[in-house]
Amino acid sequence: EMKRPQNFPPGPMWLPFIGNLHELKKLSKFLGGQHHALQELAHKYNTNVLGLKLGSEYIVTVFTYPLIREVLTSEEYQGRPDNFFLRLRCMGKRNGITCTDGEMWSNQRNFVNRHLRNLGFGKKQMEEMIREEVVEVLNILYTDGGDINVDKFLAPSVLNVIWALITGERISRDDSQLKELLDLFNRRSKAFDMTGGTLSLYPWLRYILPEWSGYNLIQRVNANMKNFFMKTIYEHQQSWKEGKNDDLIYRYISEMRANNNDDEDFIEEQLVMICLDLFIGGAQTTSGTLNFAFLLMIMYPDIQKKVQNEIDENFEKGSIIDYSERHKVPYVEAVLMEIMRFRHVIPVSGPRRVMQETTLDGYTIPKDTTVLISLYSVHNSPEYWNNPEIFEPERFLDEKGCLITNERLLPFGLGKRRCLAEVLAKTCIFMFFVEILRKYTVCLAPGSEPLTEKYIPGIILSPTRYQARFVARTTNI
Ligand code: HEM
């Protein structure tokens, strides 16, 4: 049907059957990303709440800080859509954390939160795990030197930190299964966008165009990951003993057995999906942010120099830097905040499902509408930021050089569904960034593609490929 629900947010007219799908796709391609296309449509219809229809789904996108804050902190927006795409992501079920809602979601999320904290989240233990990965990376740079694709180089390390929290082990970066998994992740995040793309709207496409629609790809990712985790979970089941709680899987098994395996919520299928949620949620976001970080240091060598000077002046040579000492380097912190504002890896977050009909900015939002959140609109509004299109870490410092926080910087979201691993991500990014720049200066490798401000759109934004060269510094080895 083409009729808009009463008082539905404004937006382009709906075509029969496809709604605005074609228009949005075309515009996203033309403007280089879905976040730009959505912003453009919001301008055109002069609205901060944009109403679209993609296939048979109502999609509302929310812009500007006050409205986004309202959405993120209100109970009725805490759902996740239950569409074909999300079901596919969860192997046909509704399990885990990222794709569920209601009481089961909150039980699983709280369990994982509590145990990640006990496993050292935000504490020394976690830093030690991260440091182990940093040391490996520094050793490779030291012995192999040469030119490096930052993303490919750092992604295995980040994955290993998450892997270690879940399974208590690390995997060699040369492991072929790990390499395949990373490659599949990469392709998956580029094959889809936050609406799930064409496939979620036309599930029947999987029968006639399984490759083109991304259906085969996502099936491959699922099968691979499931095998990966099931093997580990099986091994944990075999070696579990009363009181054995040193990683997330053991803790989950303890919970299942404490319930005599008859709690519907705490089952192996949930555990597999939780592992997957943590992998998918954490791996590319964190390494993608680092990828942008080093790219921006190449593009702004003066800022890189200032970062290095501040590190040199505040940490003794050869010392180990703790994340808890970050207050000693406010400029570095400001640079990292500005990186997340300027090149946020999730410019459109969500998707959310409206759990009961509600109103937003005077418009009616029907039950089960899918809601997208333009974090991009918050991070780039000239109303909140001076010249948002300029990369300027100083915006997070006062005249005395002290860090100023800004509630409008929301890289990890807000409210009950905010990122559950913010501390882990921030610690990881800080430690890799600081320890690498302490010992190396990064520049563009000769023969690399010239740098552009362009990036590759997808569920997760990433820079266009570049090769970096890490040159050993003589001052602070
Ligand atoms: C720079 C790195 C990261 C960024 C920018 C980021 C950002 C976000 C944002 C904005 C959300 C909220 C989505 C929403 O509002 O619906 C989110 C949720 C989530 N994040 Fe992160 N994240 C990062 C790292 C991580 C890491 C390292 C992990 C896991 C180890 C992780 C796991 C998750 C999960 C499981 C959710 C879903 C929470 C839920 O639905 O209840 N993220 N993340």
Atom of ligand 1 nearest to the CA of 277: 35
Residues in the chain: 477
Rounded to whole angstroms, the Cα distance separating 166 from 120 reads 12
Q: Which amino acid is at 457?
A: P
Q: What is the DSSP letter of 337?
A: H
User: Parallel, antiparallel, or unpaired for β 462-463 and 455-456?
Assistant: antiparallel
pTM as predicted: 0.93
Rounded to whole angstroms, the Cα distance separating 12 from 304 reads 44
Residues annotated within the binding site are 419
Rounded to whole angstroms, the Cα distance separating 342 from 76 reads 30
Burial class (CB in 10 A: 0-12, 13-18, 19+), 401: exposed
**Pocket lining for ligand 1, CB < 6 angstroms:** 97-98, 109, 162, 277-278, 281-282, 285-286, 289, 345-346, 349-350, 352, 411-413, 417-421, 424-425
Atom of ligand 1 nearest to the CA of 410: 10
For 310, the enclosing helix (H) or strand (E) is: helix 301-314
CA of 65 to the centre of ligand 1 (A): 19
Pocket test residue of 158, 285, 337 for ligand 1, highest count of atoms within 8 A of CB: 285
- Bridge partners (DSSP) of residue 60 are 51, 371
CA of 416 to the centre of ligand 1 (A): 12
CA of 282 to the centre of ligand 1 (A): 7
Pocket test residue of 378, 419, 430, 459 for ligand 1, highest count of atoms within 8 A of CB: 419
CA of 336 to the centre of ligand 1 (A): 17
Rounded to whole angstroms, the Cα distance separating 284 from 10 reads 34
Report the pLDDT value the prediction gives residue 44, as an integer from 0 to 100. 97
ipTM greater than cut 0.85: yes
Selection from 46, 58, 45 nearest residue 14 by Cα: 58
Domains with residue ranges and CATH for the chain: 21-472 (1.10.630.10)
- Output the six-digit token pair for 144: 């192999």
Report the pLDDT value the prediction gives residue 115, as an integer from 0 to 100. 86
Rounded to whole angstroms, the Cα distance separating 325 from 313 reads 13
Q: What is the DSSP letter of 122?
A: T
Rounded to whole angstroms, the Cα distance separating 23 from 237 reads 50
Q: Which amino acid is at 368?
A: D
For 375-438, strand residue ranges (E) read none
Report the pLDDT value the prediction gives residue 203, as an integer from 0 to 100. 63
User: Parallel, antiparallel, or unpaired for β 462-463 and 358-360?
Assistant: unpaired
Among protein residues, the one with the nearest Cα to ligand 1's atom 19 is 419
33: phi then psi, degrees, rounded to nearest 5: 155, 145
Report the pLDDT value the prediction gives residue 209, as an integer from 0 to 100. 60
CA of 387 to the centre of ligand 1 (A): 28
Q: What is the DSSP letter of 10?
A: P
User: Parallel, antiparallel, or unpaired for β 468-472 and 370-374?
Assistant: unpaired
424: phi then psi, degrees, rounded to nearest 5: -60, -50
Report the pLDDT value the prediction gives residue 216, as an integer from 0 to 100. 76
Rounded to whole angstroms, the Cα distance separating 303 from 310 reads 11
Residues annotated within the binding site for heme are 419
Number of H helices, E strands in the chain: 17, 11
Selection from 371, 352, 347, 361 nearest residue 52 by Cα: 371
pLDDT 10s per residue in the chain (477 long)?
568 999 999 999 998 878 888 888 889 889 988 899 999 999 999 999 999 998 888 999 999 999 999 999 999 999 999 877 777 777 778 899 999 999 999 999 999 999 888 877 767 778 888 999 999 999 999 887 778 889 889 999 998 999 888 888 888 888 887 888 788 777 776 666 655 666 566 666 555 566 666 677 777 777 877 888 888 999 999 999 988 888 899 999 999 988 776 677 888 889 999 998 998 888 889 999 999 999 999 999 999 999 999 999 999 988 888 898 999 999 999 999 999 999 999 999 989 999 999 999 999 999 999 999 999 999 999 999 999 999 999 999 999 999 999 999 999 999 999 999 999 999 999 999 999 999 999 999 988 877 877 777 777 888 888 899 999 997 644
Q: Where are the alpha helices (DSSP H) in 20-78?
A: 21-31, 34-44, 65-73
Rounded to whole angstroms, the Cα distance separating 2 from 278 reads 39
Report the pLDDT value the prediction gives residue 207, as an integer from 0 to 100. 59
Among protein residues, the one with the nearest Cα to ligand 1's atom 40 is 98
CA of 181 to the centre of ligand 1 (A): 19
